[in-house]
Chain A
Amino acid sequence: MSTASVPLPNWISYGVLPVLNLLVAFFISGLVVWSIGENPFQALKLLIEGALGRGEAIGFTLFYTTSFIFTGLSVAVAFHAGLFNIGSEGQAYVGGLGAALVALALDHYVPWYVTMPFAVIGAALFGAAWAFIPAWLQAKRGSHVVITTIMFNFIAAALMVYLLVNVFIVPGKMAPETRTFLPGGQLPKLDWLMALFGMKLGPAPFNVSFIIALVMCYLVWLLIWRSKLGYEMRTLGISPSAAVYAGIPYSRTVIIAMLISGGLAGMMALNPVMGASARLQVEFVAGAGFVGIAVSLMGRSHPLGIVFAAFLFGILYQGGADLSFEMPNITREMIVVIQGLVILFAGALEYMFRPAVVRIYQTLSGK
C-alpha cells in the first residue's frame, strides 16, 4: 500500500514535517556556509540574533512579516479556487497607488485613523482592479491566469514608473517618488505593543498594518471555510467540472476569487507606503509578491500557516541582511541561496520525508 494515502495526525502533518524540512534546509545551508570557510553555527547565531535579538530587530522582522502575510493570503485565496496568481507583485504595486492617492488627498485634513479605512479600501480597490483583467480573460476567454498575471506585473511596473517620473515627482528632486505624507497620511508605529513585552522598537517601521494583516487572516479563514462563496471556490479549486456540474457559476467565482486575491495583495502596500516610508516610491514592493507564493505554499494556504511562514521569511529577510552585514564573506547572493533552499525543502519538497515518517509512525503506533 502506498504511504501517500495513510492519514497522519495533524501534529505530524503540520508540526513535525515542516520542522523536519526546515532542519534539512538549514543543514544544507550550513554546508554551503562551511564550504566558503565561515563557521555555520556562528552564521546561524548571527542570523537568529539579527532577526530576533533586540526589539529593533524584531520590529524589522515583523515589518517584513506583515508584507508577506498580505501577499501570502492573496496567493492562498486564488489557490483555493484553483488559480495560480503570480501577479501579487503587480497588484501590490498598483495598490500602493490607491493608498498613496488617499493619503495625499486626506493627510492635510484628518488624523490617521480617519485616513486609514479609506486607504485600506483604496489599496484593495486598486489591487483588485489590477487583477480584474487577467481574471476576466481567464473566466471568459480561457487565457491562462499564470501568463496574464505575470505580464501584468510588467505593465504595473511600467505604469507606476511612468506616473512617478512624470506625474507625482516633486520637481527638482532626484528620486522618483511622491511628496512625504503628513502624519495624517501615515500609519503609526506599534511602539506600545513592543513596550508591553518590555522591548524598544527603535527606528524599525513595525506599524498598524500588522494588525490589519491579522484581521485579514481571520476574514480569509471565515471566507474560505465558513461561507458559501468559500465553499464554491474550494469546489472549483478541487474540480472545475464537478463545480460547474453542481451549478456553481465558473466565470463569476473565478472573477470574485481573483478580485479578493488582488485586493489582499493591494493592501500589502499599506505597510511600506504608509507605514514605513510615508511616500510612494519606485519598486517599493521589492519582491514581496513573489515571496507570497512561497509563503502560501509553505503555509498550506491556511491563514494560520501563512502567519507562521510569513514570520519565518521575515526572519530570513531581516536576519539574512544582518548576517551579510556582520559577515562580509556571506554576500547577498548567498542569502538568496539560503532562502532558496528553505523554499525548496519546505515548499517544493514538502512530501519528501512523508513516507519515512509514515513508516516510523506506523511502527511506533503498532499498526
Chain B
Amino acid sequence: MTKTLLTLIATAMLSSTAIAAEIKPALVYGTGGKFDKSFNEAAYNGAEMYKKETGTEYRDFEPTSDTQGEQAIRNFASKGFNPVIAVSFAWTSAMEKVAAEYPDTKFVIVDSVVELPNVRSVVYNEAEGSYLVGLLAGMASKTGKVGFVGGMDIPLIRKFGCGYAQGAKSVKSDMQVFQNMVGTTGAAWNDPVRAGELTKNQIDQGADVIYAAAGASGLGVLQTAADNKKFSIGVDSNQNHVHPGSVLTSMVKRVDLAVYNAYKDLAEDKFTAGVQSNGIKDGGVVYAVDDNNKALITPEMKAAADKATADIIAGTVKVHDYMTDNKCPL
C-alpha cells in the first residue's frame, strides 16, 4: 500500500516537473528575412508570443543561403537547443540530414514534410484558404476580373494561385483571373517595385481585386492597389492594417501558432512528431476580418464565405491542390 502510494507521489512529482520544464527554443527563418511583414514575421510573432507568456528566451537566425541554413540548424542542435524550428520548405534536405544526426532533439519544419521520428512537419492547405479569399475577391469585383501576383515561380505559390482562381470562378464561371509571378530567383520575395508594376498592369487590364502571395514584394501590390483605389488581399500575416479600406482581407496562415504550439508542447511534454496538416477545419488558414476591413465584407460575402467554409469541411466542395499533380484544372 505504502509502496503504491509512494509510486503515485513519485509519478505525480515527475509529471509536475515535466510540466514546468524549461526549454531552450531556437528558430531558423527562411531566406526572406525576419521582418517581411508576412511568412517569416508570422513565425517571429509566434516565438515572441511564447516569450511574452512564459519569459522563455529563444534564439533565432536569418540564413542567406542553403549552406548557411543547414549550418544554423546543426549549430542550434549541437549547442543543445530544443526544439529547433525551421520555417520554409528550403530547409527540407538540411532538416533530413541534421535531424538524423541528433535523434534526441525535436525539430519542426514548416511548409514541408520530413519523415523522421523526431520531426514535426507542419503544412498548410493554402489552396483552401486561397479559395475563400478568391471567392471574396470574385464577389467584391465589379469588373469581373481579378488578379494574382505571386512571388517566386515555385509549386507552392502556384498552389496559392490555383486555389484563388478556383474560388473566384466559383462566383462566376466566366471570371477572368490574371496571374503573374514577380520573378524566378529568391529576389522575387523582396521586390515590391516590380510587384507594384505587375499590379498596375493587371489594374490596367481591368482587374479590381489583386491577391498578393509574394512575401515582402506583396507590400508593393497592396500599395499600388491602394494608390489606384482598388482592392488588394494580403497573405500569411494579417495585413489588413497596411492600407485600411483598400486591403479587402488577408489569407492568414497561422505559422505563429505552429511555432507557439511547438514550444508549448515540448515544455509540457506533449510534443508529437509527424505531419500536421492545417486547413480551414483546424483554423490553420483563415481569412482575416478586423476593424480595418469590417465595412468591406458585406453580409452576403460573409454568408457565402461561411457556406464555402462549411462545404469544404463537409467535403461537398473539393479545392484542387496544385501540388498533388502539379496541374491546375482551370
Residues of A within 8 A of B (CB): 60, 63-64, 154, 157-158, 160-162, 165-166, 169, 171-177, 180, 203, 205, 272, 276-277, 279, 281-284, 286-287, 321-322, 324-325, 328, 331-332
Contact = CB atoms under 8 A, between A and B. Distances in A.
Contact of B90 (A160, A175, A328): A175
5 contacts: A174-B155, A180-B93, A203-B101, A281-B66, A321-B64
Contacts of B112: 174-175
B37 to A, nearest CB: 17
Contacts of B323: 172, 174
Given A161-B152, A277-B93, A283 B326 contact: no
Contacts, number: 86
A161 B184 contact: yes
Contact of A286 (B61, B66, B113): B66
Interface string B147-160: 00000111110000
Interface in B57-96: 59-68, 71-72, 74-75, 89-90, 92-93
Q: How large is the interface on B (under 10, 10 to 19, 20 to 34, 35 or more residues)?
A: 35 or more
A252 B245 CA distance: 62
Given A174-B323, A276-B67, 6 more contacts: A161-B185, A203-B74, A286-B67, A321-B71, A321-B72, A322-B75
B155 A283 contact: no
A350 B279 CA distance: 58
B229 interface: no
B184 A157 contact: yes
Interface of B: 33, 59-68, 71-72, 74-75, 89-90, 92-93, 97, 101, 111-113, 152-156, 183-186, 323-326
B75 A325 contact: yes
A165 B93 contact: no
A235 B273 CA distance: 65
The winner among B59, B74, B153, B324 for most chain A CB atoms within 10 A is B153
Nearest to B65: A286
Nearest to A279: B93
B184 A60 contact: no
Contact of A60 (B66, B71, B89): B71
Given A174-B323, A276-B67, A324 B153 contact: no
Nearest to B93: A277
B57 to A, nearest CB: 11
A49 to B, nearest CB: 13
Contacts of B68: 321
A113 to B, nearest CB: 24
A142 B97 CA distance: 49
